[in-house]
Amino acid sequence: MPEFDIVIVGGGFCGVHVAKLLEKKLPQGYTAALIDHKEYFEFTPGVPKLVLNPSHAENIRVPFKDLFKRVHFVKGEVTKISPKQVHTKSQSFTFRHLVIASGVAYPIGVKSTGVYTLKNGDEVRKFHDALQLAKSVVIVGGGLVATELAGELVTKTDKKVIMIEPGTRLLCRNAERASAWVSRYLSKRGCKILYGERAVKHEKGAIVTERGTKIPADLVAWCAGIKPESGFLEGALKDAVTEKKNIKVNNFLQVNGFPNIFCGGDLNSIVEEKTAQNADRQARVIVHNLLVLLGKKNLMIVHRPRSGPLIISLGDWAGLMIYGNLVLKGFIPGILKHVVEKILLFQIKYL
């Protein structure tokens, strides 16, 4: 059974940042591996752009083999993690230290064909292909991804677009000013927004809400709800999972009860916006503390949750930047979205 000093599960923002930092900082003689079910890193904030431009995928994907020299990449789907081992469908690995950064899943809340998620580029490609024959699109949800998808569709197509939001406003976790502006922006461009409705069924070309409302839809994009990918934890590790299936960590980002195991990114119990910037900050804390455990640094450091700006694109040249109660809207945030994508991808590729 292969053995590594450090195993990283997950090749999203946090996992890749951990691996990139270890490339530079892991002392000679130590080994590390990253396990992911795909062969490339994908810049997930850019995925909604693939709905109408699937060729953009080549711009937001970087093969893991091009990113790492010292960190060993293993392609595989993790099926089980115990306190000492990681198991995939075809291999098992022993570790001294583990970093869990497997992220979240995007479960569909209704059973039917013709309902898609935007969880990754491959899924979006399926949505893109189905979109060519559709005249109407229902978007279930009113969060960041749903709003960006609506922005793409209303600014670049003549499709009928309907959003279903169970709450009272879009972007409900952000400033009310942002919600009001984005609602006006989308509505002026023909998007119909239904508040206080929760989708529960998809049948015969229509979404049915819990109130019994039937909303005709040739195509459905499910952008509501996430599920932390923690189901593979076994044995005593199960005690570290919250009711919401997040993994409980302390201020050092160590899994509760397991000082040799860290958890970062979307999956852990830290209460903060799960952004690329915060994933990077958590990765830096994790790597520093790993080096302490390896005897290469003296004092562990804590992760301090903080809020940063959110940038939402609405088509190619408009957007919204939200920083607390500060809301900047229009052309500048739209440009910033492109700039941030290029900067973060450059950092991942070359720094």
Using an 8 Å Cβ cutoff, are 1 and 33 in contact? no
Predicted local confidence at residue 350, as pLDDT:
92
Distance of alpha carbon 128 from alpha carbon 152, whole angstroms: 12
User: What average pLDDT does the structure give for the chain?
Assistant: 95
What pLDDT shows up at residue 204? 82
Q: Which of 104, 102, 131 is nearest to 116 (CA)?
A: 131
Residue 48: count of CB within 10 angstroms of its CB: 24
Average pLDDT over residues 251-255: 98
Q: What is the DSSP string of 104-146?
A: EE---SS--TTEE--SSHHHHHHHHHHHTT-SEEEEE--SHHH
Q: Of 99, 38, 34, 100, whose CA–CA distance to 73 is shortest? A: 34
Question: Looking at residues 8-15, what average pLDDT do you find?
Answer: 98
Tell the residue number behind the tokens 């992911």, with chain if given: 36
pTM beyond 0.85, yes or no: yes
**pLDDT score recorded for residue 99:** 99
pLDDT digit string (tens) for 30-75? 999 999 999 999 999 999 999 999 999 999 999 999 999 999 999 9
For domain 115-224, the CATH class is: alpha beta
Buried/exposed 254-282: b ≥16 CB within 10 Å, e otherwise: bbbebeebbbbbbbbbbeebbbbebbbbb
- pLDDT for 301 equals 98
**Which one is the CATH code of 3-105+226-308: 3.40.50.300, 3.40.50.620, 3.50.50.60, 3.30.1490.190?**
3.50.50.60
pLDDT digits (tens, 9 = 90+) for 281-319: 999 999 999 999 999 998 999 999 988 899 999 999 999
Span 78-85, mean pLDDT? 95
> What is the Cα–Cα distance from 6 to 26, expressed in whole angstroms?
10
Dig out the tokens for 300 from the structure: 């562990």
Is the pLDDT assigned to residue 111 strictly greater than 90? no
How many CA atoms within 13 Å lie on the side-chain side of 339? 9
* 135-188 confidence digits (pLDDT tens): 999 999 999 999 999 999 999 999 999 999 999 999 999 999 999 999 999 999
**Domains of the chain by residue range:** 3-105+226-308, 115-224
Residue 324: predicted pLDDT: 87
Same fold, 3-105+226-308 and 115-224: yes
Pair type for strands 206-209 and 199-203: antiparallel
What's the rounded mean pLDDT across residues 327-336? 96
- Collapsing DSSP to helix, strand or coil, 341 comes out as helix
What does the alpha-carbon distance between residue 245 and residue 240 come to, in Å, rounded to a whole number? 9
Q: Is the pLDDT of residue 246 over 80?
A: yes
- Per-residue pLDDT tens for 189-224? 999 999 999 999 998 889 999 999 999 999 999 999
